[in-house]
Chain A
């Protein structure tokens, strides 16, 4: 039997349900793993060991009293340090929030607890989930960025310090670090998961992200987190289907729309040939591959994303900026300042163009079951002054469509590569089913060599 820290969410929850693993044993195994690796990977900000073990013991007792509370009973989960946790610091990687202790849990944190999960701790984020790199280390090669802004969550999941962690995505902050670290990243439909109690970058774009190691685990975590929240005006009352059931209903290979335009143009030759090889493997397994074209409105999609993001970040941080501008990192400060300069009419035009873009992207995706692109232009850059480029994620964030990153292999330098799939809004069931099928055909599960 593998060490408990190696288990996926699905495996750990299954072993706990069957009685062959106790929540306390699992928590202790993960805490020991963190003790061993944290000095070299720097993925965590706050861990309250005593509280983790107390919660794990409570889960153990609950099993004996009435059985599991939910699908992740006893499974520890990491939280990017922008999620409100009652009584636990939420510093957002910033000097400004360094001592901020929320007095309530984010809706997502509440739902994790309601489903039997254990909050393992807070993971490293770039400052306010913006562009200044964090100090987290890429477990595949410390000279390369782990990506951002959900750097700590991605590193922790990749290095087996937890089986699941939450991130967030305003540009590419869940799917890009997932790809750089060789794990699965899910950015659901905008509004699918409540953002109440999540420190915002941009209200119009922010989406809760899920970082795990398998597509099935993404489905389990989405099941726990998805659903209407009246406290988040962007989280409507949409039906939440059974995602694992949707995955099991995948009746044969999917129709996949391959988007080469833009995504291949911007990729390195290695990424292009790697993606071609992955697509060929999917085709040989029966997938119908159809090359599709981007809509005309794609041309301004990245600009819309940046204008909206900068203006809304400026609005959120206005007060802090006026009093403590020097305490922001250079990239966060630059985004806020740029947002302050953009005229209101330009902001509204960006929101109008973004709506048209969403309509056009939905029409494009309707031609197939899912669309496929490379997840990243190149492996994680050998440059610690950047978190990488979000350009392959921004179109899905800007249009609000759900997307998922699935590992597809290693580069010649031994760094992770991945494919990215996207689907229609609110249809994560179909997206997860197709992603699970691709994951199974590709047969790639990555573990950083020094941390296996």
Chain B
């Protein structure tokens, strides 16, 4: 992977996880939701703040 994963890499990663957990047929059924989640992860990757910012959990 490059420094920031591409949409395709993100999608492939979670699709592979879906296949491993539930099999090919279920992963295919989930295609639209997987695509959406990959887009969400990609959007977050575009907005990652500077390195010293800790996560905010209870805020």
Contact = CB atoms under 8 A, between A and B. Distances in A.
Interface of A: 190-191, 203-204, 233-234, 236, 296-297, 299-300, 302-304, 306-307, 310, 334, 337-338, 340-343, 346, 348-356, 358, 400
Given A191-B58, A306-B40, A352 B18 contact: no
Contacts of B46: 299-300
A352 B14 CA distance: 21
The B interface, classified by DSSP as helix, strand, loop or mixed, is: helix
Give chain B's interface residue range (CB within 8 Å of chain A): 20 to 34
Contacts, number: 93
A97 B14 CA distance: 30
B41 A190 contact: no
Contact of A341 (B17, B44, B53): B17
B47 A300 contact: yes
Interface of B: 10, 13-14, 17-18, 21-22, 30, 33-34, 37, 39-41, 43-49, 53-59
A307 B41 contact: yes
Given A303-B40, A338-B30, A350-B44, 14 more contacts: A203-B57, A204-B57, A234-B58, A296-B47, A303-B44, A304-B44, A334-B33, A337-B33, A338-B34, A342-B41, A346-B41, A352-B53, A353-B49, A400-B59
A342 B47 contact: no
Nearest to A337: B30
A389 to B, nearest CB: 14
B58 A349 contact: no
Contact of B59 (A303, A306, A307, A355): A355
Contact of B34 (A236, A296, A341, A351): A341
Contacts of B33: 334, 337-338
Nearest to B13: A343
B41 A303 contact: yes
